[in-house]
Structure 1
Amino acid sequence: MQEKIILFASPVFFVLLATEFIVALRRQRHTYRINDAISSISLGIMSQISAVFLKVFVIGIYAWVARHFALFQLSADSVWVWVSGLLLYDFLYYWLHRMGHHTNLLWAAHVVHHQSEEYNLSTALRQTSTGPLFGWIFYMPLAILGFPLQVYVVVALIDLIYQFWIHTQQINKLGWFDRVFVSPSNHRVHHAVNDLYLDKNFGGILIIWDRIFGTYAQEQDAHPAVFGTRKPLQSWNPLWANLEVYQAVALDAWRTKRWSDKFKIWLMPPGWLPADLASQNKTTPFNLNHPVYNPPLSTGMLWYCLAQFTMTMHTTTHFLLSAPSANFASSALYAFWLFAGFWIVGGLLEQKRKFIVLESLRLMLGAAMVVYSPMWFGIVYLPLWAQVGIIGTCLISLFSLGMIVRNSSVSVLHTN
């Protein structure tokens, strides 16, 4: 349900993105880079794709707990159930969000949302693909108290959609509103890596939770927010964006000698190391004024990446609409194809040579699949015009890629 509502709300999101972009240009407060926006939106789309396979965590466990352990049977027909459900959900979200910054296991998922060094509405769409694996635990009080599944799903969606508009630098402080609700000013603080702002303002809709529990910080004009993470991702690879912290913590867990530390490290704050590793670790002080990640890219390749990203994004719409009625194997293969598309676009944005080869293979395989069978991933029969369109698009893309590479300086391409 959530995926479909977000899917149909997507045109509104993109209209607002375009509006913010135009406003930023007119004010000469540029906050968009195409490569960064593609990266953020790709991660958001991938999170929706992965959610199709993780519903057991998002919905299944909640429904099971509510059915077997609910203390009360609350009615979805009652207004106070909806209002109290939203308030309780927002309170529980605050604690999930706060622990997401203070626990390696949860930070490994949540870090995705903070990796962008820009702050705009595309950042709001930058979401993790692994968050549902453990995030569900924090919402079990709702199930135990007897809030119906439909109430849980809807209030979760309200809380999520509310947070879209607060990811902007085009709205200044809002007076009394900032003292009660999470606002753009409050949330800019949350995304900042300045010492003054670090790990503050965890609320979803209400900022009063931060005021009550001592995690509130006010945005100060004398200290402009610097966005990103203390360990910059420096990559447009969406798979690496989702896995970087998991890998780093797993390697430290493997290297440490004490068995208790191998488990403890997952529950400790980011940056914590067991004694045997801490003695070997040489940390470099964080430079607040470090240059943002922005590898050079030819104009032709930038437009090519934008075109391929747009086509893959629209293809995802078909996947999300058809996945509920498709078998697991077909859905998994389709999802893999889409993930590969976003991953390759990320590699092309970094000008890595191997991704030119991978993109060429992807295009040839796409055309070959349609020639071999008109059944698109075994899910839908493609009419003749669609078959011709897909094959033609793949061939035109392949030709365009070749022309762009030939006209680009080979020295710009990285080999790794």
Structure 2
Amino acid sequence: MMSTLIYYAIPAFIITVALEALYVRQRANVRGYETKDTFASLTMGVGNVLIAGVVKIGVIALWLFLYEHRIFDLPVSAWWVWLLLFVCEDFCYYWFHRVSHESRFFWAAHVNHHSSTHYNLSTALRQSWTTPFTGIVFWLPLPLLGFHPGMILVQQAISLLYQYWLHVEWLPKLGPFEWIFNTPSHHRVHHGRNVKYLDRNHGGILIVWDRLFGTFEPEAETPDYGLTKNIETFHPVKIAFHEWLAIARDVMRARSLRDALGYVFGPPGWAPGGRGETSAVLRARLARS
């Protein structure tokens, strides 16, 4: 059902990307679109839909197995169950997204979404070809708690569709709405490679998790989009797998099992002996300057 909802949304994605491309051409303070970058993002999006559609078959089977061993019997038709699922699914997404920035193994799957130096609706479609595999574990508690797999699929689709509109430069801050919900302003911060913006604002629909767990950062300066070290390529295969290959190279030259595990599961930028430039190190360096 989730894939069906996303498929129905594809024409809307194409139309809104085209409309935004026309609109931002008239705005001098917006970087706008670049043809090769947009094509790369769209190609990544198509690949993600195809791969996720296949992987989801196995995921649903696993969810159904866990649902048969559920802890609670939650009525599918009750409004309060849907409200509870909204909160629980968004909580799962927050931790999936946060870990995808704080552990290099998960970052290798997620990094392609941040690899564009542009920020527009096409960037939202620059989705991973490997996250469908690495993200499975984060939603496993939901069927165990008693949420029917069909409900989970619907709520995941709602979250994904909500996050689409967050990828725009031209919308200003939205007042009190920003206190609770994720907005373009909050998500621009998330995509910024400015040191103060690194690993911030991981929420899906709600921003309250970031406020509660200390990962919130308001938009104060104009974000510089992309990676701390940009990859300078529009080739979809390189975008999808460059970090996995980098991990393999680092593991091959590791001098110990501990170092190898650090290269794989440590934070992005980690290196033995504290020689790496993780976001925490960069942020501490900025604080001292």
Q: Could you tell me the TM-score, scaled by structure 1's length?
A: 0.64
- Structure 2 residue 197 is matched with structure 1 residue 212: no
After superposition, give the CA deviation of every residue in 1:364-384 in whole Å (9 maximum; x if it has no partner): xxxxxxxxxxxxxxxxxxxxx
**Contact 1:109-1:131 at 8 Å conserved across structures:** yes
After superposition, give the CA deviation of every residue in 1:191-212 in whole Å (9 maximum; x if it has no partner): 0000121111000001111111
For residue 82 of structure 1, report the CA deviation from its aligned partner: 1.0
For residue 30 of structure 1, report the CA deviation from its aligned partner: 4.0
Structure 2 partner of 1:43: 44
Q: CA RMSD in A?
A: 1.9
Return closer, same or farther for 1:153/1:114 CA change in 2, 3 Å cut-off: same
Q: How does 1:282-361 map to 2 (within 5 A)?
A: none
Structure 2 partner of 1:253: 251
- Structure 2 residue 61 is matched with structure 1 residue 60: yes
CA distance in 1, matches of 2:160, 2:105: 21
For residue 189 of structure 1, report the CA deviation from its aligned partner: 0.3
For residue 53 of structure 1, report the CA deviation from its aligned partner: 2.6
CA distance in 1, matches of 2:88, 2:259: 34
CA distance in 1, matches of 2:85, 2:36: 39
Q: How does 1:121-270 map to 2 (within 5 A)?
A: 121-220=121-220, 223-270=221-268
**Contact 1:57-1:136 at 8 Å conserved across structures:** no
Q: Secondary structure at the match of 1:263?
A: helix
Task: List 4+ stretches of structure 1 deviating above 4 A.
Answer: none
One-letter amino acid of the structure 2 residue matched with residue 202 of structure 1? H
CA distance in 2, matches of 1:261, 1:63: 38
One-letter amino acid of the structure 2 residue matched with residue 272 of structure 1? W
Q: Could you tell me the TM-score, scaled by structure 2's length?
A: 0.91
Query: 54-63 or 74-83, which moves further after superposition?
Result: 54-63
Return closer, same or farther for 1:229/1:202 CA change in 2, 3 Å cut-off: same
One-letter amino acid of the structure 2 residue matched with residue 163 of structure 1? Q
After superposition, give the CA deviation of every residue in 1:101-160 in whole Å (9 maximum; x if it has no partner): 000110000101100000000000110011021211111111110100111100000011
**Contact 2:129-2:240 at 8 Å conserved across structures:** yes
Structure 1 partner of 2:3: 3
Structure 1 partner of 2:103: 103
Return closer, same or farther for 1:148/1:129 CA change in 2, 3 Å cut-off: same
CA distance in 1, matches of 2:110, 2:61: 22
One-letter amino acid of the structure 2 residue matched with residue 139 of structure 1? W
CA distance in 2, matches of 1:94, 1:154: 17
Q: How does 1:361-400 map to 2 (within 5 A)?
A: none
CA distance in 2, matches of 1:230, 1:133: 25
Bigger Rg over Cα: 1
Query: 21-30 or 252-261, which moves further after superposition?
Result: 21-30
CA distance in 2, matches of 1:56, 1:268: 31
Q: Secondary structure at the match of 1:169?
A: coil
For residue 246 of structure 1, report the CA deviation from its aligned partner: 0.8
**Contact 1:57-1:133 at 8 Å conserved across structures:** no
Q: Secondary structure at the match of 2:26?
A: helix
One-letter amino acid of the structure 2 residue matched with residue 259 of structure 1? L
Equivalenced residues, count:
278
Structure 2 partner of 1:24: 24
**Contact 1:20-1:170 at 8 Å conserved across structures:** no
CA distance in 2, matches of 1:116, 1:244: 14
CA distance in 2, matches of 1:65, 1:254: 38
Query: 258-267 or 237-246, which moves further after superposition?
Result: 258-267
One-letter amino acid of the structure 2 residue matched with residue 256 of structure 1? A
CA distance in 1, matches of 2:175, 2:215: 19
**Structure 2 gaps, min length 5:** 283-289
CA distance in 1, matches of 2:253, 2:31: 44
**Structure 1 gaps, min length 5:** 287-416
One-letter amino acid of the structure 2 residue matched with residue 215 of structure 1? T
